[in-house]
Amino acid sequence: MSRGITYTSSPLLASPTPVWRSKFIVATIALAFAGLIARAVYIQVIENAFFQKQGEVRFARTLALPANRGRILDRNGVVLASSIPVPSIWAIPEDVPRSPEALKKLARLLGMPLAALNKKLEDEDKTFVWLKRQVDASVGKEIAALGLKGIYQRKEYKRQYPEGEAAAHVVGFTNVEDQGQEGMELAFNKALSGRNGSRRVIKDRMGRVVEDVGEQIAPVDGRDLQLSIDSKVQFFAYQSLKQAVLLHKAKAGSVVVLDVQSGEVLALANYPSFVPDKRRNLSGAQLRNRALTDTFEPGSAMKPFVIAQALNMGMLTPETQIQTAPGRMTIGSATISDSHPQGLLSVTGVIQKSSNVGTVKIAMQMAPRKMWEMFSQVGFGQKPVLPFPGAVSGRLRPYKSWRPIEQATMSYGYGVSVSLLQLAHAYTIFGRDGDLVPVTMFKTTEPAMGVPVIEARHARAVRHMLHLVTLPGGTAQKAQAMGYSVGGKTGTARKVEGKGYASKKYRGIFAGLAPIDAPRIAVAVMIDEPNNDKYYGGDTAAPVFSQTVQQTLKVLGVAPDMSVVPQVITDAVEESF
């Protein structure tokens, strides 16, 4: 029946259509196309840069190409710090399956509680979260073998420190971002870090690189640092120090070894110490580089500088007699005394017996300015010229403000404070025949030029006195070293506590040179608060000096200058404070 219908005769189709309606429809379509064209022109021409940037923000990424951090080497090329590539684990939390069994395995490999892992996946950014930075390569392989969706790895560099706690305070350490935090790692962070490169890429929503765009900038690796430290000397010095601190139940200790000829620091060790790449639960006491950051009153170790200045001024000779009886003297309201009355002593005997009274009588014959000049010229009161964080200047007040009693006490090491590095550095003038060479932490091959402080003959005279200190009748017979002649000076100083001095807290100190006729090294040792019935420097610090000298000179290839092995001395003369 439908086949018989004639559509043209339909009343609906036969009704007349207004012309304006068709024109309106055509105009509407034309306007729509014009709008689309305008929008296309706006997006692709006028605001093209904006929309390109928005697209890049969503898909394009600049990947850092990390530079390999430079190594830190000892003077012989032994690695003290280096970087190795390791994986770091990250995740896209919304993609990670919440399978309890799978997450339990992942948490075990990451070394964290399951609850901590779940917290990271739930509370952090849903598109990126670090799970653990710098894991072992073997752990990275095991995690990859799990095949978990949403778990990814990124290559980073982890710092390794082969010498461990022995060189920790020298080398320092970096944080997880590979930025130096302590020691040479901090002091030379910029040089060691180098410059990172970059790579511009387009990633999909899964974080996978699908295309490289733009130019790739290659990284510039960091520069290697070669220190003056000898890793063998550093190890032996640290071990000797550690044993002494533990033996005497001391609070802490430090040792510094300098090359007298070049001013190079061969060893700088402290105890307690730490392992640089295992730093959980560290205390400030472990981190502190005491040899550079701590100052102390050096006690009798200051006496040789007073005697050297007196000789240099022509006030006396090594044979000049000084009356020290009855073993005490009064200045103002204060009484200065010796541990043991000595009577008439030569200037040499004043050093050998460590007489406070004898030293004060000599010091009070010179103007305060002269004594201050000696202390200042050897570096006391001045910050060491070392590119090392935390190095302190110590305390040396202007001579114009000195009262007589202050000049007297400073002559035997009270009222002036120094660091152990400063003390070791100052003693090099006796090993270099009177001149002071700059100290350095870097290996050098150039001859060191020193600044004259005292005449050579007077330096040699004091060096002879220092040698007698270690022989029978001296205060540091335990400083003797097998096969090598030595010289040095003990110091025992009460520690400041509150507004005065503690009655039972001391520092044992020893500073000296070896071999005595042609010194190659200067060594200074400080034992803080020995608490084993012995606190004198001759008992606590001198044995560390002895062991360090023996090992150091062997490592340096210095031939023994003594054919007779000295006897082990058990009862040394006690030095005065």
User: How far apart, in Å, are the Cα atoms of 127 and each of 79, 90, 123, 149, 344?
Assistant: 40, 10, 11, 13, 85
Cα torsion 165, 443, 520, 78: sign = positive
H-helix or E-strand containing 158? strand 151-160
Q: Map tokens 């060479």 to a residue.
A: 437
Cα torsion 400, 401, 407, 411: sign = negative
H-helix or E-strand containing 370? helix 368-377
Q: Let me know: does 350 contact 303? Beta carbons within 8 Å.
A: yes
Active site residue 354: no
**Could you give the CA distance from residue 360 to residue 350 in angstroms, rounded to a whole number?**
10
β-strand partners of 522? 258, 513
Q: Let me know: does 241 contact 168? Beta carbons within 8 Å.
A: no
- Give the orientation angle of helix 368-377 with respect to helix 303-312, to 10 degrees: 110
Tokens of 510: 């020893």
Q: Map tokens 């001198």 to a residue.
A: 542
C-alpha 334, offset from chain centre: 42
**What are the phi and psi torsion angles at 544 (to 5°)?**
-65, -40
Spot the catalytic one: 228, 231, 300, 354: 300
Cβ partners under 8 Å of residue 215, min gap 6 = 200
β-strand partners of 156? 86
**Could you give the CA distance from residue 104 to residue 113 in angstroms, rounded to a whole number?**
9
Tokens of 33: 């196309």
Helices (H), 294-334: 303-312
Active site residues: 300
